[in-house]
Amino acid sequence: MKSRPTLRLVVAPLVAGALAVGLPAHPGAADTSQARPVDWSAAWGASPQLPSEGFTPNWSREGFSHQSVRQVVRVTDGGDAVRIRLSNAYGTSPLKITGATIARTTHGAAVEKDSIRPLTFGGRHSVAIPAHGELRGDAASLDLKPLESVSITLYFEGTTGPATFHSQGWTDTYRADGDHRADASGAAYTDKTQSWYYLSGVEVGAADRAGATGPANGKQNNGKSGIVAFGDSITDGFASTPNANHRYTDVLTELTGRPVVNEGIGGNLVLNDSAWFGERSTARFSRDALDQPGVSTVVILEGLNDLGYSEASKGEHPPYMYKPAPVVSARELIDGYRALIDAAHAKGLKAVGATLLPFKGGDHWGPHSAKVSDEVNDWIRDSGEYDAYADLDRALADPTDPDRLAPAYDSGDGLHPDDAGYRVMAETVAKALPK
C-alpha cells in the first residue's frame, strides 16, 4: 500500500464579520430590516506571505503609518453584495485598521464616486485583527458584474509595522499620505508598487442565483462552480504583462465563465517552507484553497521549485533565496500531491493535476530535476489519482525539443510562459476541468 503522509492543516483564526447583509445607514448599505442570507462566492484571492523584499520593490518591511493604501482587483463573479477578507497571518501584533472602502475602479487609482461604499467589521468601521489572524468583513451592498475591477482602500491612522502581503501582484497598488479612503480622485495616490497588502480575498454574494449563467451574460454563477488555482510563480502569473490581467487564471475565467481564485505564490514549494516564498503547499492548502466559498474544483500546479532549487543552488554563488534546497525524489513529491488530493476530496472538491511545464534552459534544469520531472508527469497522467489532469507539459513544449518551452510561449527565462503561453495554459486547463 502506498504511504499517505498526514496533511498538516494550518488554519489561522478566521474572525467572521456579519454573514447577512446589515450595515449602518448609508446610501450604499443594505437595509438591516431586510437582512437576508447571502450565497457567497470567492471572486478574487491572493495568498498571504511573510514581509520580504521578494522579486520587486514593495512596502512590506516598512509597513504603513497615517497612510491610505488603494488596491485594485478584478472580480471573477458578480452579485449585489461584496465583502473582503483581510490577513494579519504574519503580523506579530494586532493590525489596527481605522477604516476601509470599496468602489468600482475607473482608471489607475481613481474610482467611480457614486460607487464608494464604507466597509465595516462586525458593524464597526475600525477593527483590530489579532496577530496571526484573519478576518472576513461585513457585507456591503454593491452591484458587481463578473470581470469588473474594484478598488479596496485601507486607512491606517497608526503604525502597522511590517505588513503581511502578497509579493507578485502584477497590478499597481497605490499609497497616499493621510486619510483618502473616500477620494474618488487618484490624485493623492502618488506612490505605487505591484504587491498587495493585507488583502487576501474578495467575495461576492447574491440572495438568489437561480437562472444565472456566468460572465458571458453579465450574471453571477449558479451554485458551487468556483475554481481555485493553486501553485507557484507560473500560477501567480510571473512575466505576464502588468495591469493587463493576462495570467492563465484570468484567461481561464474568461473562457469558462466560472469564478477563478488565484492562490499562487512565486517560488513556493510543496514540501518545504521558505522564508521568501511562503509556507509549503501542504501547510497553506487549507487556508488558501479549502476555505473558499462557492468552490468545487482545485487545480494544482506545483513542484518545479522542489526539484529545481537543488539544481539552481549548485552555482559558485548560490542565491540565498533558493534555500532550503534538498534533493527531492519523485516519491516524496508524489506523496505531497497525494496529501493535497486527499484534503481536497475530504472537503468535497475535485482535484485537477497539471503536469510540470518544460524548463530546459532555465536555471532549474539539471540531470536530477529533468529525470524526476518526467517521472512526476508520468504519474500525473497515468496514476488516476487526480480527478482529471491538464497536460501543460505537452501543450507548451517546443516540437523540436520537448524539454523546452516553445519559443512562442517563453517569456525569455526558459521557465515562465509569456502572455501567449498563459493563454494556452488556460485553454488546456479549461478542457480538462471536470463537468
DSSP 356-412: PPP-TTSTT-SHHHHHHHHHHHHHHHHS--SSEEE-HHHHSEETTEEEEE-GGGB-S
Instruction: For residue 298, give the 3-state DSSP assignment.
Output: strand
**Residue ranges of the chain that CATH labels 2.60.120:** 14-204
Q: Which three cell numbers stand for residue 270?
A: 510543496
Give how far Cα 144 sits from Cα of 75, 102, 266, Å.
8, 11, 29
> Angle, to 10 degrees, between the axis of helix 248-256 and the axis of helix 419-432?
50
Q: Are 79 and 220 in contact (CB under 8 A)?
A: yes
Helix then strand count (H, E) for the chain reads 8, 24
- CATH code given to domain 224-432: 3.40.50.1110
What does each of the 435 residues of the chain score in pLDDT, given as a tens digit? 344 444 444 434 444 443 222 223 333 333 333 456 789 999 999 999 999 986 789 999 999 999 999 999 999 999 999 999 999 999 999 999 999 999 999 999 999 999 999 999 999 999 999 999 999 999 999 999 999 999 999 999 999 999 999 999 999 999 999 999 999 999 999 999 999 999 999 999 987 654 343 443 344 454 679 999 999 999 999 999 999 999 999 999 999 999 999 999 999 999 999 988 999 999 999 999 999 999 999 999 999 999 999 998 776 556 788 899 999 999 999 999 999 999 999 999 999 999 999 999 999 999 999 999 999 999 999 999 999 999 999 999 999 999 999 999 999 999 999 999 999 999 999 999 998
**Residue ranges of the chain that CATH labels 3.40.50.1110:** 224-432
- CATH code given to domain 14-204: 2.60.120
Direct distance between the N- and C-terminal alpha carbons of the chain, in angstroms, rounded to an integer: 30
Q: Where on the phi/psi map is residue 166: left (φ > 0), alpha (ψ -120 to 50), or beta?
A: beta
